[in-house]
């Protein structure tokens, strides 16, 4: 299923190494994943989430705040693939594997998670081992250079992650579907009211997916009480505001022990237009 990131030929697995016919090889890490980023792409400044971000997201997600979203994505994916015998699903920009593992409950599905952060993928492996999950494979790779052959997958899922029009269209089968989850206008509005004097609602993300038709968009919105400072700060470190909030805003958050927040998600389903 994997292709060589250097010459794009098929990779074959021999013992603990993936090889292509041109002599390029990629070792399988001790935990069981493969790093398919070419050396020039392994740029420390552009290598996705760092260990602290992965840890904060894991601790937050494991409290179950986004379980409703994970279940909604899984149910949508199950419906989309219900007529397919052995569906292939890719979780692109899968982070530390929270949604990948929930999606793995789809009967007979093979799930492939990729992320550009090796720390995130390392964590995915711990998650599948811990939960005895057998139908997920993980690789370190970029959404903009997917390590899969043409027309490999029935469905690609992208949750709060970068989206590639060309690569997703290349890797999906004819009629393949794409689920894209992004923040709704009101997502985290209360958190933003603490950080900024004039909090703005989120604008819809424009992905330029001209090789796809939008079939439908739905919204999932609910409010939750965060009842510890730890949860508030973990959530904050998962957001883009973490990098651009003035010090006085951060200080206010550090002094807070409870916060009611709106979690809001846009869930869009697209279909590949051409073959």
Regarding 144 and contact with ligand SAM (CB under 6 A), the answer is yes
Q: What is the Cα–Cα distance from 148 to 92, expressed in whole angstroms?
A: 12
Regarding 38 and contact with Zn ion (CB under 5 A), the answer is no
- Which residue in 2, 148, 160, 212 binds ligand SAM (CB under 6 A)? 160
Best CA proximity match to 127, nearest among 142, 144, 111: 111
Q: How far is CA 47 from CA 50, 108, 116, in A?
A: 8, 32, 6
Best CA proximity match to 138, nearest among 22, 242, 18, 264: 18
Regarding 24 and contact with Zn ion (CB under 5 A), the answer is yes
Stretch 205-244 residues interacting with Zn ion (CB under 5 A): none
Q: Which is nearer to Zn ion, 8 or 251 (CB)?
A: 8
Stretch 48-77 residues interacting with ligand SAM (CB under 6 A): 48-49, 57
Helical axes 229-237 vs 51-61, angle rounded to 10°: 130
Q: Choosing among ligand SAM, Zn ion, none, which partner's interface includes residue 20 (Cβ < 5 to 8 Å by kind)? A: Zn ion
Rg for the chain, CA atoms, rounded: 19
Q: Choosing among Zn ion, ligand SAM, none, which partner's interface includes residue 98 (Cβ < 5 to 8 Å by kind)? A: ligand SAM
Q: Kindly determine how many residues on this chain lie close enough to bind Zn ion according to the rule CB under 5 A.
A: 6
- Which residue in 2, 3, 18, 20 binds Zn ion (CB under 5 A)? 20
Q: Kindly determine how many residues on this chain lie close enough to bind ligand SAM according to the rule CB under 6 A.
A: 19
As given in the structure block, the two tokens for residue 34 are 């493969």
| 3-state DSSP assignment of residue 259 | strand
| Contact window for ligand SAM (CB under 6 A) among 78-86, 94-102, 128-136, 167-175 | 94-102
Q: What is the Cα–Cα distance from 3 to 119, expressed in whole angstroms?
A: 22
- Which residue in 81, 143, 182, 184 binds ligand SAM (CB under 6 A)? 143
Q: Are 74 and 105 in contact (CB under 8 A)?
A: yes
Identify the burial level of 223 via C-beta atoms within 10 angstroms of its C-beta, where 0-12 means exposed, 13-18 middle and 19 or more buried: exposed
Regarding 149 and contact with Zn ion (CB under 5 A), the answer is no
Q: Which residue has the tokens 């069981």?
A: 32
Regarding 147 and contact with ligand SAM (CB under 6 A), the answer is no
| 3-state DSSP assignment of residue 224 | strand
Partners of residue 269 on adjacent β-strands: 179, 216
Q: What is the Cα–Cα distance from 61 to 98, expressed in whole angstroms?
A: 7
Q: Choosing among Zn ion, ligand SAM, none, which partner's interface includes residue 6 (Cβ < 5 to 8 Å by kind)? A: Zn ion
Regarding 245 and contact with ligand SAM (CB under 6 A), the answer is no
Q: Choosing among ligand SAM, Zn ion, none, which partner's interface includes residue 160 (Cβ < 5 to 8 Å by kind)? A: ligand SAM
Q: Are 66 and 187 in contact (CB under 8 A)?
A: no
Stretch 120-139 residues interacting with ligand SAM (CB under 6 A): 120
In this chain, which residue has its C-beta nearest to ligand SAM?
Answer: 48
Instruction: Name the residues that contact Zn ion, by CB under 5 A.
Output: 4, 6-7, 20, 22, 24
Instruction: Name the residues that contact ligand SAM, by CB under 6 A.
Output: 48-49, 57, 93-95, 98-99, 115-117, 120, 142-144, 159-162
């Amino acid at each position: 299923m994997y292709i060589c990131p250097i010459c794009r030929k098929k990779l074959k697995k021999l013992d603990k190494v993936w090889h292509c016919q041109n002599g390029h090889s990629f070792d399988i890490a001790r935990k069981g994943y493969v790093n398919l980023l070419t050396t020039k792409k392994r740029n420390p400044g552009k290598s996705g989430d760092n260990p602290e971000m992965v840890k904060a997201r894991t601790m937050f997600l494991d409290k179950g705040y986004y379980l409703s979203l994970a279940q909604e994505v899984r149910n949508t994916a199950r419906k989309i693939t219900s007529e397919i015998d052995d569906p292939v699903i890719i979780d692109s920009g899968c982070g530390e594997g929270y949604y990948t593992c929930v999606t793995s409950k789809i009967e007979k599905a093979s799930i492939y998670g990729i992320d550009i952060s090796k720390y995130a993928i390392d964590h995915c492996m711990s998650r599948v081992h811990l939960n005895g999950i057998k139908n997920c494979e993980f690789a370190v790779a970029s959404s903009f250079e997917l390590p899969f052959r043409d027309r490999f997958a029935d469905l690609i899922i992208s949750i709060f992650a970068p989206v590639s029009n060309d690569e997703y269209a290349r890797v999906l089968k004819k009629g393949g579907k794409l689920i894209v989850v992004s923040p709704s206008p009101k997502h985290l509005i209360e958190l933003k009211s603490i950080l900024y004097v004039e909090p703005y609602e989120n604008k819809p993300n424009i992905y330029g997916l001209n090789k796809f038709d939008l079939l439908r968009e739905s919204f999932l919105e609910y409010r939750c009480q965060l009842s510890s400072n730890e949860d508030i700060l973990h959530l904050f470190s998962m957001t883009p505001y973490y990098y651009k909030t003035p010090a006085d805003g951060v200080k206010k958050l550090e002094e807070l022990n409870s916060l009611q927040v709106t979690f809001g998600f846009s869930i869009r389903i697209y279909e590949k237009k051409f073959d």
